[in-house]
Amino acid sequence: MLLLGKKVAIIGGGPGGLTLARLLQQSGATVHVYERDASCHERVQGGTLDLHHDSGLAALRQAGLLDAFRAAYRPGADHMRLTDQHATIVHDDHTESQTATFGDVHFRPEIDRGPLRDLLLDSLQPDTVVWDRQFAAMQPAGPAWEITFRNGTSATADLVIGADGANSKIRPFVTPIRPFYSGVMIVEGIVPNAAQQAPRVSQLLQGGKLFALGDEKTLVVSAKGDGSLNFYLGFKAPETWAQTSGLSFQDAAQLKAWFRQAFAGWASLWEELFATEPAACVSRPQYCMPLTQTWPAQPNLTLLGDAAHVMPPYAGEGVNMAMLDALELSNCLTSPQFLDLQAAITHYEQHMRQRASAVAQDTMEQTAVLHSQGGLAYLVGLFRGDVLHE
């Protein structure tokens, strides 16, 4: 095996990095995941994720974790309601017979990020994840790499994989190509104890997901298993909007006043999203990597997930792409068909970029249409099968 006697360092302990660690350990590789968080309990994990048959679920199948996933996912959380800005329901999965299940290519079961991370962590060998290791620098050490972390510690590895997300610190060692701004800004927030804090929105959710569209704006809300809800407000804005808006994203009253002005004409029930003081919100400008990006493969360094191909979330492909990257990269690194690591990485990166480019193009098209006057009609047609979508 190409990795025999070699040390693999995965920078970033998200779903993509942890999936890769599990898959490589199944083949006997020596792997460590270096994660900036002090522990697995440091940060509240974000919203829910829907895993797809041929990507996220395929990775879990090969990792031997499908039974663990079945025990952790939330049946019914994939049920979607579509509304206009007045909260008028125009499409409702809850009223339709749901027959899809595991093995069906159209089944997209939902799981909260926290439980997904936990089941992946539990699958790894003890001490695989090294916590409190925020990347600081990296330099060649012969054919290997010496990695330095913010806490003053260091590590060496024969192969480094950047799985450290959209703001990857590893990516510049691979390519100088930078993402471009999509034109859409997201304000993300969490409402704890949603049944009490946001009762009308919570009732509308029915434990599932909700898309509200109107006036070239979007609102995506997801119920979580811990009783909270996660939401994304999407709107067209300059890239520097967060810095120039003057908003404090922890000031609920200020955010509610902003919402009333920026989303004028939207139903008052949406203001419940800013009922918690202090608010738990953050601004997220949405970026996408150039669809034609390419770079020469290296023998000891590569990328996966958002570090390689960040894009807006509106096609629901982010975590699935990262987990499929992990599956394909592990297959290449453990395949006997490649003579050396550079050949394996070359094959992986060529296919990964081609696949990501196609998804990014589709994602950018969807992002544009959802933030247009015809966004709601398009999405209703998509759910009813009137709009063709691969």
Binding site for NADPH: which residues?
43
Q: Which residue has the tokens 């691969």?
A: 390
Q: Which alpha helices (H) appear in the chain, and where do they start and end?
A: 15-26, 56-62, 66-72, 113-122, 171-174, 194-197, 199-205, 241-244, 252-262, 306-309, 318-333, 341-370, 375-384
Cis peptide before 75 (omega within 30 of 0): no
Q: Which residues are annotated as a binding site for FAD?
A: 50, 113, 306
Distance CA 236, CA 20 (A): 35
Q: Which residues of 277-314 are buried (b: 16+ CB within 10 A; e: fewer)?
A: eebbbebbbbbbbebebeeebbebbbbbbbbbbbbbbb
Neighbours of 97 (CB within 10 A): 5
Question: Nearest 5 degrees, angle CA 217-CA 218-CA 221?
Answer: 155
Distance CA 180, CA 154 (A): 33
Torsions phi, psi for 292 (to 5 deg):
-105, 15
Q: What is each CA distance from 38 to 34, 107, 150, in whole angstroms?
A: 11, 35, 12
DSSP 316: S
CA 160 and chain centroid, separation:
21
Handedness of CA 301, 305, 307, 310 (dihedral sign): positive
The pairing of strands 280-288 and 217-223 is unpaired
Q: Which residues are annotated as a binding site?
A: 43, 50, 113, 306
**Cβ contacts of residue 49 below 8 Å, gap of 6+?**
15, 56, 110, 111, 112, 113, 116, 319
**Cβ contacts of residue 88 below 8 Å, gap of 6+?**
none
Torsions phi, psi for 259 (to 5 deg):
-60, -45
